[in-house]
Structure 1
């Protein structure tokens, strides 16, 4: 999990070594290319591209990879990525939102549907579970940014809505519409963030026993392994005891 226990139920992404790193770089590059295509190829003039590059740097993505992804947006390589969101229910009635960037909607839809079906869940229509989540801005800083009091004061000054701090770092939440302004203000006081993005925060959580927890995590891993899938959000609640047992 991400290490921030308060929000371990929002998003789950594996942290395997070489293969996972290559896959993460590929997904980051795709987001950079799409951002550059949908706006100017200059980060200073394109907020989405600026955030995409910043997130890539936070993952130690090489500069050459970033520049290549930007240049790819101006080329006629035949790839035209489309943003698609899928919604459905996983094991135990857990609501799941899947965000994808794809150049083949049929392929991606088939893969996502298959993952839900094999897990004993079901893929629904767009909006079938979205009402159970709120779109917000999430800005993550490492623990080195300062203690909880320093970060809290900086977040309040920047106009953020909430801060969750633990030994691994700080998660700062704000209104979706304010993410750019809040991030800019925080950078002035805390430095560059580790991650800046819009996320789907569940309004309520669904508690799971060990069996259902294992099935849900397996579903999320399967979805996350798909090259077209960028982010997976779910409203599950797994106790620390069960999570420790499954991670052993």
Structure 2
């Protein structure tokens, strides 16, 4: 099994999602505020804001909390001006890691990210030091109930997507230049997706197991525990047996 979703699987098995609900809301509020500030406050005319609102709904964020965040970003209230920053480096076992953050204090965030890497056997590098090992792609996720796997696959390809993987949900991937078009076509056919965003997808995986795997997941957890960090991507590959050990 490869990719960051396996880390999410482990955290879900440990029940960490509910324990971190407040931090999830904090990250979503930052994205809502930034999206509203960067474009129009109308989600129909602002795809990034629409995606942020969809993510907030999926996390069961109260409607009034969403509206306040959008209002702050649009200039209705005083709001922090968050800056988008990307960090790259290597974790234990030579796993390539990309960290995306929204911060109002670059020095604080850089210090937290650097500490997470160095204290867990990783090395923080320069921008673009590992990005070449990933593809920047659009990812659209629909619930399994939206359509059958075959129907979603056919619709995704017709819309211009590159692939559709169906299991607990439907995960559609496409070229980043086609992202807006693919999302718009599929939304008209299947309604609002669970999420729609640009992500970093590993081109190749780095096998990892044992103590190095445990340390890597600890590092990722520390990074995601930061209010400033929005997403963490890593190119690790791990077996089902190893995954079960870590989740137990």
Q: Same fold (TM over 0.5)?
A: yes
Aligned to 1:160: 161
Return the alpha-carbon distance in structure 2 between the equivalents of residues 32 and 78 of structure 1: 11
Deviation at 1:78, TM superposition (A): 5.5
Aligned to 2:112: 111
Deviation at 1:19, TM superposition (A): 3.6
Return the alpha-carbon distance in structure 2 between the equivalents of residues 212 and 18 of structure 1: 26
**56-65 or 229-238, which moves further after superposition?**
56-65
Aligned residues: 242
Q: Unaligned 5+ residue runs, structure 1?
A: none
Sort the Cα spacing of 1:19 and 1:72 in 2 relative to 1 into closer, same or farther, 3 A: farther
Deviation at 1:11, TM superposition (A): 7.3
Sort the Cα spacing of 1:93 and 1:231 in 2 relative to 1 into closer, same or farther, 3 A: same
Aligned to 2:69: 69
CA contact (8 A) 2:72 2:79 kept: no
SS in 2 for 1:24: helix
CA contact (8 A) 2:3 2:233 kept: no
CA contact (8 A) 2:3 2:234 kept: no
Return the alpha-carbon distance in structure 1 between the equivalents of residues 4 and 102 of structure 2: 23
Return the alpha-carbon distance in structure 2 between the equivalents of residues 10 and 94 of structure 1: 15
Q: Unaligned 5+ residue runs, structure 2?
A: none
**1:121-136 mapped onto 2 (5 Å cutoff):** 121-136=122-137
RMSD: 1.5
Aligned to 1:190: 190
The list of structure 1 runs, each at least 4 consecutive aligned residues, that deviate by more than 6 angstroms after superposition, is none
Deviation at 1:77, TM superposition (A): 3.0
Q: Structure 2-normalised TM-score?
A: 0.93
SS in 1 for 2:20: helix
